[in-house]
Amino acid sequence: MKIDEIKKFTRGYIDRHPAAGPKDVYKLIYQSFMGVAHILKDYFHAENSFVEEFEAAAPIEGEIFESLLPDSGLVRVNFSALKASAGDSAELWKALTLTLKIFEPDAQGFITAWKWVSEFLVQCDFDRAEIEHLDSIADKVNPEPVHHSMKYVREENPSYRVVSVMAIEGIGGTLWELYRETIELQEKPVMPDVAADRPENAIDIDMVGIGDLSYPIVVLDRENKKQRTVAEVMMSVELPARWRGTHMSRFIEILNRFRGEITHVQIKVILDEVLHQFDARAAHITLKFPYFLEKKAPVSGAPSIMEYNAVFDGAIEAGIYRFKLGVVVPVMTLCPCSKEICDEGAHSQRAHIHIETVSSSFLWIEELVEIAERAASAPVFPLLKREDEKFITEMAYENPRFVEDVARSIARELGSREDIDEYMIHVTSDESIHNHSAFARISGGKAKR
Mean pLDDT of the chain: 90
Which CATH superfamily is 205-448 part of? Urate Oxidase; (3.10.270.10)
pLDDT band at 186 (very low <50, low <70, confident <90, very high): low
Give the per-residue pLDDT at 98. 93
CB 242 within 8 A of CB 279: no
Q: Where in the chain is the domain with CATH 3.10.270.10?
A: 205-448
Task: Return the closest-CA partner of residue 440 out of 415, 405, 397.
Answer: 405
| pLDDT digit string, tens, across residues 107-119 | 999 999 999 999 9
CB 291 within 8 A of CB 227: yes
| pLDDT digit string, tens, across residues 165-185 | 999 999 889 999 998 887 765
Give the per-residue pLDDT at 281. 87
CB 348 within 8 A of CB 380: no
Greatest pairwise CA separation for the chain in angstroms: 106
Query: Which whole number is the average pLDDT over 127-145?
Result: 91
Between 34-43, 217-226, 342-351, the lowest mean confidence (pLDDT) is in 34-43
Between 2-11, 46-55, 88-97, 419-428, the lowest mean confidence (pLDDT) is in 2-11
CA distances to 224, 307, 412 from 349, rounded to whole Å, are: 32, 18, 23
pLDDT band at 61 (very low <50, low <70, confident <90, very high): confident
CB 445 within 8 A of CB 358: yes
Amino acid found at 28:
L
Give the per-residue pLDDT at 266. 85
pLDDT score of 187 more than 70: no
pLDDT band at 1 (very low <50, low <70, confident <90, very high): low
What is the rounded distance in angstroms from the CA atom of residue 143 to the CA atom of residue 136? 9
Query: Which whole number is the average pLDDT over 242-260?
Result: 82
Q: Which residue has the higher pLDDT, 194 or 327?
A: 327
